[in-house]
Chain A
């Protein structure tokens, strides 16, 4: 990304900075979570970004993103001294499972605890103060070291977070990154399933949002997930999330409905269609039609931004074989579901040219063809057809789960006809 690094000298908050955040949100509004985090870690705040995690019920998702982007990113865990034993076990489980190599526990200042909470019951008499000495205070010196930090907060969690953007500017002029802002409950669960993430041991027992043991209770079916936190008190946030700049930069386009299905969920799509007036030299996150790419190949190869490729029926994917590595995503157009040329394109990409990036089907993508597309190597779908969307979400594609033909690169031969058979 050509975005200049935003300095974090504690300067007075100014409109330019706010506008920068506004622009960031506009640019990344439709990007998926891992894309947001990757951009934040590599382009916006390289070497200057930390993660704060509670290692709660949903923390695995954010930490899995971290592991994908860079397992050595610093992760801080607020060891408040009031956690469930299961949470502490879970810290170790996740570290091991995800291969995170830079996890640090932050402890409250012992003198403060001795002074304000000598009996360990401050949570009961004054929960805000308890949070303050066990979370807000210990975190401050850490966050001061970084230009920005990453949270796992999500819009769906509470009404107050309903407008949460991907990037926020804090009152002390730091950038707070919320890659999971647009995730909903189903997204989180699906993501955990798809990636086989270990569950917090308490999740199965009904804890949906897990903080310190005394202030966390079980959430009933249908209840706001965070209703179990500080139950009965007029308190929704612990304070560490509460200091963002009064006017939150709102997204430029409201992504009311994601159409990109990938890794088991509809997610924000960082890519946009190529337009007639798109500029080969500066385009970013566009699927460039193959013919346009060939006509402007040198310009595109000099363009530093992430690009995709659009392949329509009749295009010869062989013509761009040498440049496939240039593309983060290849969109195969199915102008009608009955036009099967895209299946050959997909197989050539994944099997012959060993293209390992995203191969997405666009156009007339319907549930009855999706199993065939997947077998041919397509790993993402842009779906607008409502029954198909429902079938995907409910995981009930009309599929014959065993195959006679060896197709694809990851065949697991089974049965007595190993050369022909495959079980999905």
Chain B
């Protein structure tokens, strides 16, 4: 993991002091809320429906047990005993008091954490594949570059007041687990003809009101020019991105309206000017940062495989957990474990202070002290010896987080919705809880197989509904909450945006409608091996539409 040196520590301390001064000026009335808003947003502080909400960056989703314990401490001391892990690989606290914020930031700084640029119209926390450095399919660990991007983008003087927020995601694997095609900039490791590793650059993806799949703007940018290339994109966006309408201000609209070729021409012209300049990234620097992310000291393991079928007979719940929550590791005898934050009936992504402490203990004991936050609102122990899986499972059972449902219908992404959010039109957590209860039976979930449901309480799409195999969008209609259903979304390398299937449903009718869609899929699928999204792509929307609304 990356470790702060003196410079980083001084930087964060300086930023904490700066923000503390801004809080003080707000409390004294010297700053108006209008003036304070962009300043607090730049530091992850939102004013929500009921209280301030503080969003803390988990850079590229990687954290240590010590940092997780700090989250537990903050939840216990300054909040109501829980935190919420988000689709941006961050954590949010929903009930801090403004006067406590400087203290919280100070405590965070003591474990090398901060809330810098977790909101505001700036370059946000860079997100990455949650199996980075562990996954068997990886070309290269993207985290060293992600860390370099974190540094480059932190309090960037030119790009702190962009037209709108700006999100960068990076993956080093061909299987895209970071949804890079739905980010303002997506980076995917690529190899050129000479066998060198560099980056495909995708631009203009996003969700929200106007979902767009990112477009390939450059198929190979080597490490040394990556910062110069990204700065070129940022400058073009800062200068020409729309500022007349906040709903049309993201770079996806600029790319869409101007056309990829125009934007590409502008970026290339800018790149020609800055290429080879001060932003050139020396190989030694990449190596130096990479050294921080050196794999842990793996040892030869007695067991390299586990007989899931056998375990499933002995202990079905454990079998399900092995089946769904284990990801293959590049190192023989090791596996990555997903800790599901989606217990049946729970609020997706929430963890209590006690659970966070327990998870920290498990990571320290069994997983080289390392944890990840996934953009699907789960946690990951990236490096666990196969021989320790049972012990890890039992520790998770003890803390109530052993649900073996990763990738299944109850592993939903869900935004905070009208229960917390000032923007929401509809509740989403209660709906997720209802659906989760409806499909609580493990056998039923296993029968359905891989199916991603994603729920957003408003058009801003924090719950990524556009890329859910089944997406649910809460809207307000005639003073009531109504839910639209979309089908066919996909956030991976085979990216697609879901389509609205028909008129919306009342909240009570949604779980039933989901069940109808699921039953339709099961009855029409070619085999148990054909997933929902595959079947949908083969069948089209007609049979699903007919099942929901009757024959046309």
Contact indicator B5/A368 (Cβ below 8 Å): no
Binds B, one of A259-267, A274-282, A333-341: A333-341
| B279 contact set on A, CB distance < 8 A | 406, 419
Contact indicator A400/B18 (Cβ below 8 Å): yes
Q: Nearest CB to that of B288 among chain A residues?
A: A416
| B247 contact set on A, CB distance < 8 A | none
Contact indicator B7/A415 (Cβ below 8 Å): yes
> How many residue pairs at the A-B interface have CB separations less than 8 Å?
95
Query: Chain B's nearest CB lies how many Å from the CB of A125?
Result: 58
Q: How many residues of chain A get a CB closer than 8 Å to chain B's CBs?
A: 36
Contact indicator A344/B7 (Cβ below 8 Å): no
Query: Chain B's nearest CB lies how many Å from the CB of A62?
Result: 35
| A416 contact set on B, CB distance < 8 A | 5, 7, 288
Q: Does B516 belong to the interface (CB within 8 Å)?
A: no
Highest count of chain A CB atoms <10 Å: which of B5, B30, B155, B281: B155
Binds A, one of B50-58, B159-167, B343-351, B354-362: B159-167
Query: Chain B's nearest CB lies how many Å from the CB of A349?
Result: 12
B266-287 interface bits toward A, Cβ cutoff 8 Å, 1 = contact, 0 = none? 0000000100001111100100
Q: Does A376 belong to the interface (CB within 8 Å)?
A: yes
Interface members, chain B 74-112 (any A CB < 8 Å): none
Q: Complex: how many Å from CA A401 to CA B280?
A: 23
| B48 contact set on A, CB distance < 8 A | none
Contact indicator B278/A400 (Cβ below 8 Å): no
Contact indicator A368/B39 (Cβ below 8 Å): yes
| B477 contact set on A, CB distance < 8 A | none
Q: Does A208 belong to the interface (CB within 8 Å)?
A: no
Q: Complex: how many Å from CA A343 to CA B162?
A: 10
Contact indicator B159/A340 (Cβ below 8 Å): yes
Q: How many residues of chain B get a CB closer than 8 Å to chain A's CBs?
A: 39
Q: Does A404 belong to the interface (CB within 8 Å)?
A: yes
Query: Chain B's nearest CB lies how many Å from the CB of A421?
Result: 6
B123-159 interface bits toward A, Cβ cutoff 8 Å, 1 = contact, 0 = none? 0000000000000000000000000100110111111
Contact indicator B18/A398 (Cβ below 8 Å): yes
| Other-chain contact of A337, B22, B38, B162 (Cβ < 8 Å) | B38
| B278 contact set on A, CB distance < 8 A | 406, 411, 419
Q: Does A99 belong to the interface (CB within 8 Å)?
A: no
Binds A, one of B8-16, B63-71, B383-391: B8-16
Q: Complex: how many Å from CA A137 to CA B463?
A: 88
Q: Does A242 belong to the interface (CB within 8 Å)?
A: no
Contact indicator B160/A402 (Cβ below 8 Å): no
Contact indicator A343/B238 (Cβ below 8 Å): yes
- Given A338-B161, A366-B35, A417-B7, answer yes or no on A400-B285 (Cβ-Cβ < 8 Å): no
Interface members, chain A 314-363 (any B CB < 8 Å): 337-341, 343-344, 347, 352
| A304 contact set on B, CB distance < 8 A | none
Query: Chain A's nearest CB lies how many Å from the CB of B448?
Result: 47
Contact indicator B22/A368 (Cβ below 8 Å): yes
Contact indicator B15/A400 (Cβ below 8 Å): yes
Contact indicator A387/B157 (Cβ below 8 Å): no
Contact indicator B151/A420 (Cβ below 8 Å): yes
Q: Does A407 belong to the interface (CB within 8 Å)?
A: yes
Contact indicator B238/A340 (Cβ below 8 Å): yes
Q: Does B365 belong to the interface (CB within 8 Å)?
A: no
| B148 contact set on A, CB distance < 8 A | 420
- Given A337-B38, A343-B238, answer yes or no on A398-B155 (Cβ-Cβ < 8 Å): no
Interface members, chain A 370-424 (any B CB < 8 Å): 371-373, 375-376, 387, 398-407, 411, 415-417, 419-421
| Other-chain contact of B155, A313, A337, A403, A419 (Cβ < 8 Å) | A403
- Given A398-B21, A402-B7, A416-B5, answer yes or no on A344-B238 (Cβ-Cβ < 8 Å): yes
Interface members, chain B 5-48 (any A CB < 8 Å): 5, 7, 10-11, 14-15, 18, 21-22, 25, 30, 35, 38-39
Q: Does B538 belong to the interface (CB within 8 Å)?
A: no
- Given A398-B21, A400-B11, A402-B11, answer yes or no on A340-B160 (Cβ-Cβ < 8 Å): yes
Query: Chain A's nearest CB lies how many Å from the CB of B117?
Result: 12
| Other-chain contact of A343, B30, B151, B158 (Cβ < 8 Å) | B158
| Other-chain contact of B157, A313, A405, A411 (Cβ < 8 Å) | A405
- Given A313-B243, A341-B239, A387-B30, answer yes or no on A419-B282 (Cβ-Cβ < 8 Å): yes
| B155 contact set on A, CB distance < 8 A | 372, 400, 403-404
Q: Nearest CB to that of B279 among chain A residues?
A: A406
- Given A338-B161, A398-B22, A416-B5, answer yes or no on A404-B38 (Cβ-Cβ < 8 Å): no
Query: Chain B's nearest CB lies how many Å from the CB of A383?
Result: 14
Query: Chain B's nearest CB lies how many Å from the CB of A359?
Result: 14
| B330 contact set on A, CB distance < 8 A | none
| A368 contact set on B, CB distance < 8 A | 22, 39
Query: Chain B's nearest CB lies how many Å from the CB of A422?
Result: 10
Q: Nearest CB to that of A364 among chain B residues?
A: B35
| B157 contact set on A, CB distance < 8 A | 343, 371-373, 375-376, 403, 405, 407
- Given A344-B235, A407-B157, answer yes or no on A419-B7 (Cβ-Cβ < 8 Å): no
| A420 contact set on B, CB distance < 8 A | 148, 151-152, 285
Query: Chain B's nearest CB lies how many Å from the CB of A412?
Result: 12
- Given A340-B159, A344-B235, A405-B152, answer yes or no on A399-B18 (Cβ-Cβ < 8 Å): yes
26 A-B contact pairs sorted by A residue (CB < 8 Å): A337-B161, A339-B161, A343-B157, A343-B158, A343-B159, A344-B158, A344-B239, A352-B273, A372-B160, A375-B157, A398-B21, A398-B22, A400-B14, A402-B7, A402-B14, A404-B11, A406-B278, A407-B157, A407-B158, A411-B278, A416-B288, A419-B285, A420-B148, A420-B151, A420-B152, A420-B285
- A344-B238, A416-B288 are known; give 12 further A-B pairs, CB within 8 A: A340-B158, A343-B238, A344-B158, A371-B157, A400-B11, A401-B14, A402-B14, A404-B152, A404-B154, A405-B156, A419-B278, A419-B281
User: Which residues on B are within 8 Å of A, measured CB to CB?
Assistant: 5, 7, 10-11, 14-15, 18, 21-22, 25, 30, 35, 38-39, 121, 148, 151-152, 154-162, 235, 238-239, 243, 273, 278-282, 285, 288
